[in-house]
Structure 1
Amino acid sequence: MPTTTSPDVSDGFSAEERAAMKERAAELRAEGRKGAKRADELQALLDRIAQMAPDDRELAERVHVTITNVAPQLSPKTWYGMPAYANADGKIVVFFQDSGKFNYRYSTLGFQDAANLDDGDLWPVAYALRKWTPAVQSRVAELVRAAVS
């Protein structure tokens, strides 16, 4: 179930979240050429999320809000047609793969080698994501915090 700050929710993002994303895109465009590129990448990510099936879209929207709140230093973009978030070097740290992309029974939250999740000689880098709950939100936030630490 989506966590929102307002009962005015259309297809996942609250009105406040949509307004904040538009404001951020305008801020990026105001930064000049580099900012405009980042704004275009953000828009491409949001467009990709909008194209997803409703259940996948809801998950992707919640993932997007969580990642941008926990790790605002990551840059949203698409990567192989998936919503992804890159560090300052442009390396993908975390991505979301919707279940519809390859007709899987679950969506995936994945981490690339730029993520700081190392734990000995074996650690998970992908997580099945079927439903958004407060526990899932907390775990995703925890993983993202660790990944960018």
Structure 2
Amino acid sequence: MTDTTFSKEEKAAIKAAVAEKKAAQAGADAAAACDEAIAAMTGTDKEFAEAFHRLVAENTSLAAKTWYGMPAYADADGKTVVAFKPGAKFKIRYATIEFQQAAQLDDGGLWPVGYAITSMTAADQERIAAILRTAVGR
């Protein structure tokens, strides 16, 4: 009987999360792990992740790390605020920027927490920068 509960990609992400927890307990360099995750990407995923990484650094004080093997950025309490999900990782047609509960994006009873990325124009980058600033309360 074949286990279809989790896809191969989802299982790999879970294994990455376990490895990240062990690495953190051993005092590993979380920012270096984020850099390595981005360096391992290819194509537009890599291009977009590099641009997103720069936007996070320029517009927030979030700390780089990985989260389920993906580049992610945490607040001073270590809570993941936002992660970059490469499309190739889950065999989807676009990368996404996914905000977590620590992001300060609340807007009434309904607000977006995920954004698909298909381009990284100057206008796109400014929009992402504005969302990042809002997410961290700037």
Smaller-chain TM-score bracket: 0.7 to 0.9
Q: What secondary structure, in the 3-state scheme, does the structure 2 residue paired with 1:136 have?
A: helix
Report what 2:39 is aligned to: 50
Given candidates 80, 91, 94, the residue that maps to 1:103 is: 91
Given candidates 113, 124, 127, the residue that maps to 1:139 is: 127
Length, aligned pairs only: 112
Q: What is the rounded CA distance, in whole Å, between the counterparts of 2:93 and 2:43 in structure 1?
A: 14
Offset of residue 55 of structure 1:
1.2
TM-score, structure 2 normalization: 0.78
Q: What is the rounded CA distance, in whole Å, between the counterparts of 2:89 and 2:70 in structure 1?
A: 9
Q: What is the rounded CA distance, in whole Å, between the counterparts of 2:59 and 2:31 in structure 1?
A: 17
Consecutive unaligned residues of structure 2, counting only runs of 5 or more, are: 1-26
| Within-5 A mapping of 1:1-149 | 37=27, 40-71=29-60, 73-149=61-137
Report percent identity of matched pairs.
Answer: 50
Offset of residue 99 of structure 1:
0.4
Offset of residue 139 of structure 1:
0.7
Runs (4+) of structure 1 exceeding 4 A deviation are none
CA RMSD across the alignment: 1.4
